[in-house]
Amino acid sequence: MKFPNKLKYKIHSRVENKALRTLGLQSNLIDFSSNDYLGFAKSETIFDGAHQFLVDENLKINGATGSRLLSGDHWLYDVVEKEIAEFHQSEAALIFNSGYDANLGFFSSVPQRGDVIIYDEFIHASIRDGIQLSNAKAYKFKHNDVDDLKPLLKRHSELVSESDNEIYVVTESVFSMDGDMPDLVTMSQIIKYHNAFFVVDEAHAIGVFGEKGCGEVQRLGIENLVFARIITFGKGLGCHGAAILGSQELKQYLVNFARSFVYTTGLAPHALATIKMAYNELVILNKSEESQQQKLQENISFFKSEIRRLQLQKVFIESNSAIHCCLVPGIIKPKKIANQLHHKGYDVRAILSPTVSVGEERLRFCLHAYNSKKEITEVLENLRVFMNN
């Protein structure tokens, strides 16, 4: 079969740059790479609970059968959206098929022509793609730098004043490729001062931060200063899907205009039942002596203390989240070290350009409630040896 030459060249250039991506099956290595921070993806309680719920409700259905605006809007959507909204202290929640879809739908439909989007330079690809599809103008500010955001916001708020045009500022509460976190409180205050709309992607904060894992926005008590929160279920909740939290008016708008919501088949009832049970688990586990969230937090503290003991602070990006990155610029070296760690039994991934900028390549360590202290010590001791070779 003929294959377009332009595409051949692009693949070839990835091969030449030793940056070709390939698919690989899940490994049985010690997990320092998945986003399953609390171990919910493998939870039998959640799996069995979802199954039992479907059987009890006689929901023997394999698929949603259509877009939610046509035949796909199962009653379970309403139940789960209400529960999620209540859990996250939001007026409303709207479920999307994935976080990618949620960000694409929000940013392509909410900011209008004449509006301005101001975004952190390290923002996730799904937000960037949404911005690309939008008719609004977009400007970036330096990563987590409120001093860079301030003048940008001031300038644009003066430009849009006395018009119907709006400003949207977007960041992540935990950055997916750095693990670091912005000063959401200060940001929310200056955004409010300039009458702009604040949007926070909480993908990597759900299950990790806040009471029962409700996220950073709620932990900081700034729900009312945030226009929309994007939460995802494929990471700390171990299942699949996402939701946008906001007002009923925003929900109504997205149902009408977010194309990644309108023109796609909805999630099947079993996906919704799994989300429901994952939230149940967050609540139930939090009542136990030592919750998964607590175990994760202990592992994060221990990982950080081991970094200090092994004097690796200089190569690690400062982080309090479940994501910790060791900067290893280049392509060969991070890949080589990731391979060496694999041979020692650890699943640690090299993150290369174009996911991060050239020169910012890194090894990303994702921590979990189920990692043992011994695993943490050993993976870092091995890392130190390989870094020095």
Closest CA to 238 of 30, 27, 49, 37: 37
Shortest Cβ 151–ligand PLP spacing (Å): 26
Shortest Cβ 101–ligand PLP spacing (Å): 7
Q: Which stretch binds ligand PLP (CB under 6 A): 26-34, 97-105, 145-153, 315-323?
A: 97-105
Q: How many CA atoms lie within 13 A of 22 on its CB side?
A: 5
Site string for ligand PLP, 177-216 (x = CB under 6 A): ------------------------x-xx------------
Q: Which CB, 54 or 243, lies closer to ligand PLP?
A: 243
Shortest Cβ 202–ligand PLP spacing (Å): 8
Among 68, 124, 212, 349, binds ligand PLP (CB under 6 A): 124
Distance in angstroms (rounded) separating the CA atoms of residues 132 and 228: 19
Size of the site for ligand PLP (CB under 6 A): 14
Distance in angstroms (rounded) separating the CA atoms of residues 304 and 313: 9
Handedness of CA 190, 195, 201, 205 (dihedral sign): positive
Shortest Cβ 244–ligand PLP spacing (Å): 11
Distance in angstroms (rounded) separating the CA atoms of residues 237 and 46: 10
Cβ-Cβ contacts under 8 Å for 374 (sequence gap 6 or more): none
* Terminal CA-CA length for the chain: 45
The verdict on 98 binding ligand PLP (CB under 6 A) reads yes
Q: Which CB, 178 or 375, lies closer to ligand PLP?
A: 178
Using Cβ positions, the residue closest to ligand PLP within the complex turns out to be 99
Shortest Cβ 273–ligand PLP spacing (Å): 18
Shortest Cβ 174–ligand PLP spacing (Å): 8
Among 128, 219, 234, 284, binds ligand PLP (CB under 6 A): 234
Shortest Cβ 57–ligand PLP spacing (Å): 25
Contact call for residues 174 and 117 (beta carbons, < 8 A): no
Shortest Cβ 204–ligand PLP spacing (Å): 6
The verdict on 172 binding ligand PLP (CB under 6 A) reads yes
Q: Which stretch binds ligand PLP (CB under 6 A): 55-63, 68-76, 95-103, 328-336?
A: 95-103
- The footprint of ligand PLP on residues 236-275 (CB under 6 A) is 242
The verdict on 126 binding ligand PLP (CB under 6 A) reads yes
Q: Which CB, 101 or 375, lies closer to ligand PLP?
A: 101
Strands 167-172 and 137-141: unpaired
Q: Which CB, 234 or 345, lies closer to ligand PLP?
A: 234
Q: Which CB, 99 or 291, lies closer to ligand PLP?
A: 99
Q: Which CB, 181 or 326, lies closer to ligand PLP?
A: 181
Distance in angstroms (rounded) separating the CA atoms of residues 71 and 58: 18
Q: Which CB, 104 or 196, lies closer to ligand PLP?
A: 104
The verdict on 173 binding ligand PLP (CB under 6 A) reads no
Question: For residue 290, which phi and psi values (nearest 5 degrees)?
Answer: -125, 105
Distance in angstroms (rounded) separating the CA atoms of residues 274 and 47: 7
Q: Which CB, 363 or 380, lies closer to ligand PLP?
A: 363
CA distances from 309 to 30, 371, 383 (A): 22, 19, 13
The verdict on 345 binding ligand PLP (CB under 6 A) reads no
Distance in angstroms (rounded) separating the CA atoms of residues 8 and 16: 12
Q: 235 exposed, middle or buried (CB, 10 Å; 0-12, 13-18, 19+)?
A: buried
What are the tokens at 65? 């059968």
Q: 16 exposed, middle or buried (CB, 10 Å; 0-12, 13-18, 19+)?
A: exposed
Eight-state DSSP code of residue 60:
-
Contact call for residues 271 and 74 (beta carbons, < 8 A): no
Name the 3-class secondary structure at 22.
Answer: coil
Among 43, 74, 92, 99, binds ligand PLP (CB under 6 A): 99
The site for ligand PLP (CB under 6 A) is made up of 98-100, 103, 124, 126, 172, 176, 201, 203-204, 232, 234, 242
